[in-house]
Amino acid sequence: MEEAAEAESNKATTAYGHLPVLPASLKAPVAQLLTKGAALERGLQTVLDARGSHDMWVEMEILEDHHQQWMAQLSGLSGDFLAANVPGETYGMLMRIFEPMAQRIEHLHRRVIAK
């Protein structure tokens, strides 16, 4: 009985449990994109919040560089997934995370540039 309970608890409980684990070669780039994307969002929002109180041109220059790097990394992700033979469903699942993040970053970026 205990063995059956343990086997049941070890089963995947998500709709994505059937997908293979990401290859090690993709874990670092995906983690970096998430981390850098979150930092970029915070940085852009900080610039927007600080407008008028002091000059943020240095921060804006740095964020512009980070923005370009992040967008390039994101656009290269599909090629990395193809090269690693990762199932398209796995890529699609991650894009459901990255696409809204990219939209938020682009929205904040446009607002920073406009001001």
For residue 63, count other CB atoms closer than 10 A to its CB: 21
- pLDDT at 12 exceeding the cut of 60: no
Q: What is the pLDDT of residues 15-27, one digit of tens each?
A: 667 777 888 889 9
Locate the domains of the chain by residue range.
23-114
With beta carbons less than 8 A apart as the criterion, state whether 46 and 105 touch: no
Record the tokens describing residue 63, joined without a space.
């964020």
Q: What is the pLDDT of residues 32-90, one digit of tens each?
A: 999 999 999 999 999 999 877 777 778 888 999 999 999 999 999 999 999 999 888 88
Confidence band (pLDDT; 50, 70, 90) for 109?
A: very high
Residue of higher predicted confidence among 70 and 5: 70
pLDDT of residue 27: 92
pLDDT of residue 87: 86
Cβ within 8 Å of residue 51, ≥6 positions away: 115
The dihedral of CA 93, 94, 100, 102: what is its sign? negative
